[in-house]
Copies of this chain bind each other. A is one copy, B any other.
């Protein structure tokens, strides 16, 4: 398969759905909805929603049934970026090559736009009309998994420990704690939810869980490497910023080459896990390889 074309097509599908699901820019209060759209529609790789769709397909499910959940995960990811960029947090001026949300709309609106996106995600997930064909029990399980992975022992927890660790000497288990939660948790949730919405049996769900854990961690290791070796233009944000801030990263702790080894090892783990799923899992395989290749 041509991964480039696949990713582009799937991202277009997700973009169109996000545009449909988000309240219009002329919905009151207009400034809030414009701020929400500004960050969601800023592009980005749409890796999480694409993982949802690919996991759904890998177990023989219909991708369109997973589209609302896919968009919900992208909204949650976007809210976390808006809040991470705030002056009280990472204080970033640029994201995806554009001024950050609070730079354009002000800090208060940026906080509230993030809050609203997080809330909108669950409105979408629990919207019965939108998810007519999905069993109610499945929708509840999907929503619960997403909330757990995004919450205080998942993504938000990872962000807290990341902040606390800045400029400190931290050990390897702490870096893994941060990475499995800050980025890994939501990517695992994406794969698990796609699997459930596709009607995965227990064995396939377990296989995809192993894939999601490994691929999610690999993605963050690759991101660490990219932040170190890439230039700001390619990155769309300030390159080398992790090192300047004394951020807890893989390369800082175990070096660049060992980090690349670890990323490759995680990719292999991910591929092994889904070997039994055969042909329909091909997109998931291509994505796992792509994650690593970005940084090698």
Total residues of chain A contacting the partner, CB 8 A: 54
Are the C-beta atoms of B126 and A156 separated by less than 8 Å?
Answer: no
Are the C-beta atoms of A151 and B123 separated by less than 8 Å?
Answer: yes
Are the C-beta atoms of B116 and A89 separated by less than 8 Å?
Answer: no
Are the C-beta atoms of A27 and B122 separated by less than 8 Å?
Answer: no
Determine the residue in chain B with the shortest Cβ distance to A148: B123
Are the C-beta atoms of A122 and B143 separated by less than 8 Å?
Answer: yes
One of B31, B32, B152 near A36 (C-beta < 8 A):
B152
Task: Known contacts A107-B88, A160-B29, A164-B31; decide if A116 and B152 are in contact (CB<8 Å).
Answer: yes
Contacts of A266 in B (CB 8 A): none
Excluding A33-B152, A36-B152, A79-B115, 13 further A-B contacts by CB distance (< 8 Å) are A23-B153, A28-B157, A32-B160, A88-B106, A88-B107, A109-B160, A109-B163, A119-B151, A119-B152, A122-B122, A123-B147, A128-B140, A140-B140
- The 5 A-B pairs of least Cβ separation, nearest first, read A123-B147, A136-B136, A88-B107, A116-B152, A119-B151
